[in-house]
Structure 1
């Protein structure tokens, strides 16, 4: 059975919910949100138990609903999950959970979205907001297939207790790697392995949270994506994590050269037994359901500009550095969602209009713009 909507949003995490919240404002009628999990919330319920935001509550809100409580505190994972589920209940949108999308393909000027249970949905506009959490990235390391110890990505890590008394190496130099290593250090002999020294950034320079400065200076929305992708990772810290690493004897070492069946060979050639390697090495954005749509390049990356796909009627929200530094954050996805919806709405209105009307009355002859 086919179901039709004005707009279909894929994913009910922060990006999908922000998009659904703004849809009516941009002229869309019925909005359908499809979510693979059994509840809204995206990746947040699956992060490790102790995760806390590095942005204060006042800078962690989606459009139309303030994050509750003291604006200067740093919310915990479960608070974010609760906030997103309250947000979802307030939306004027049809949210269908336990619906895994398998394909999104163009047909007769619209998009056909199919789910794994055989359901089929159509819309003139689709926004992909599924995020990257389901595609954790683990780099290939010499000897990786030989290692007989436990190897897990941070996506599968929950709490330190199961690692009590073990020898653990955490790989990565970002916020998650530091936070995980700091708490593992309390129960296990832990080392943080990175390719370069950790770039610490003060949480409250000159008495103001760094996110206040980001907004005040315009850095949050500056179109610096290409530069930021190549910039070294910085770790925001008010002092607690650096102190915890020191207190628990967690040392930082140069990334190991290879894995062995029993452990690692460090960059200086020394070999050491290791029980567990935790890879806090990020994620790679993938959209397998868009195979065959014409919007993915040969490496599977979406072709888009600021979230507007190269194929009419399709947009993206929640891509890191999509339009600025804050794009893939609670505080930034609303801005990107509004931009994408505005462009999709305009494109939808232009469909069916005569060519001379779409071009402002200018004939598109031999001297006109090339397509």
Structure 2
């Protein structure tokens, strides 16, 4: 069988493409490398929330099942993606990591997976851009006493030993992790250029809402596209390049109106704008988080 289209990756982009192919009535299949849709979200750091409210987080054809002004957590995003597949009855095949993508002389693409090959006239590569962590060479020169963990493998502050932390990279994930850690220890956020931090709310409304009302939501390339998915498989020949998992890989801070941790994170986030934040210097080994 030769499909009309194959979609590589069952993240947000891949599922949205699948929705429109379903509307067009053509034959297609979605290939996902992990064992379940949404797994890339499940394995992110524990405190992750989207920086856009639920009213702006829906894929076409299905509203996000949370109050419009709420900020979905990572597990809620994963559950929504699984619900989306079931609601639209999208043909998703999990545990199908793509090994190679080639274009034949007949103009038909061949996709090689661990379970064989599939052919299609068109291929949508929706694997994202933040799968492979980028670790600078200088990291290998640090002393063994310096604990290191990449943001892709960071889950919560309990992973790190006591002491101050250097977070390298001020993208969404790096800044949010720095803000979370700053609630309990000194933190330095390092970036090659001065980062620009936008408020989550303004005059009681989401900043995303304001940019939408002003007609800037789709005109800006800086902030409001939402989280990007983690790729579902290995690099394929001729596929898109992969960048460091920082600014686009996940959501932003918790809504400042949330009780407890969210409010603390917002206070820490504001403090980070001034440079180093956190309690007084603590003893013990240093922590080092790369983002």
- Where on the TM-score scale, by shorter chain, does this alignment land: which range? 0.7 to 0.9
Match of 1:51 in 2: 48
Equivalence map 1:14-33=2 (5 Å): 14-25=12-23, 27-33=24-30
Q: Which is higher, the Rg of structure 1 or of structure 2?
A: 1
SS at the partner of 1:170? strand
SS at the partner of 2:179? helix
Match of 1:252 in 2: 275
- Supply the distance in 1 between the matched residues of 2:92 and 2:178 (Cα, whole angstroms): 37
SS at the partner of 2:29? strand
1:276 and 2:284 correspond: no
Match of 1:212 in 2: 209
Structure 1 stretches lacking a partner, 5+ long: 254-271, 281-371
Measured after TM superposition, the shift of residue 274 of structure 1 is 5.6
Match of 1:172 in 2: 169
Q: What CA deviation, in whole Å up to 9, does each residue of 1:107-152 have, x standing for no partner?
A: 11211111033x11001111000112312223444x6434422222
How many residues are aligned here? 249
SS at the partner of 1:89? helix
Q: 1:7 to 1:246 in 2, by over 3 A?
A: closer
Structure 2 stretches lacking a partner, 5+ long: 226-246, 257-262, 277-282
Q: Would the aligned equivalents of 1:67 and 1:83 in 2 still touch at CA under 8 Å?
A: yes
Q: What CA deviation, in whole Å up to 9, does each residue of 1:170-209 have, x standing for no partner?
A: 1122332222122223344432223344423222224321
Q: Would the aligned equivalents of 2:42 and 2:75 in 1 still touch at CA under 8 Å?
A: yes
Q: Would the aligned equivalents of 1:194 and 1:252 in 2 still touch at CA under 8 Å?
A: no
Match of 2:103 in 1: 106
Match of 1:134 in 2: 131
More RCO (CA 8 Å, sep 6+): 2
Alignment equivalent of 2:32, drawn from 31, 35, 42 = 35
Q: Would the aligned equivalents of 1:182 and 1:250 in 2 still touch at CA under 8 Å?
A: no
- Supply the distance in 1 between the matched residues of 2:270 and 2:8 (Cα, whole angstroms): 43
SS at the partner of 1:221? coil
SS at the partner of 1:124? strand
Measured after TM superposition, the shift of residue 251 of structure 1 is 7.3
- Supply the distance in 1 between the matched residues of 2:194 and 2:58 (Cα, whole angstroms): 32
Q: What CA deviation, in whole Å up to 9, does each residue of 1:41-100 have, x standing for no partner?
A: 262122101101100000000001100121001111111111111111223332110011
Q: 1:191 to 1:103 in 2, by over 3 A?
A: same
Q: Would the aligned equivalents of 1:12 and 1:40 in 2 still touch at CA under 8 Å?
A: yes
Measured after TM superposition, the shift of residue 212 of structure 1 is 1.3
Alignment equivalent of 1:123, drawn from 120, 124, 133 = 120
Q: 1:64 to 1:114 in 2, by over 3 A?
A: same
Equivalence map 1:130-169=2 (5 Å): 130-141=127-138, 144-148=140-144, 149-169=146-166
Q: Would the aligned equivalents of 1:164 and 1:188 in 2 still touch at CA under 8 Å?
A: no
Q: 1:101 to 1:92 in 2, by over 3 A?
A: same
Match of 1:202 in 2: 199
Please provide the CA RMSD for this pair. 2.9
Measured after TM superposition, the shift of residue 158 of structure 1 is 0.7
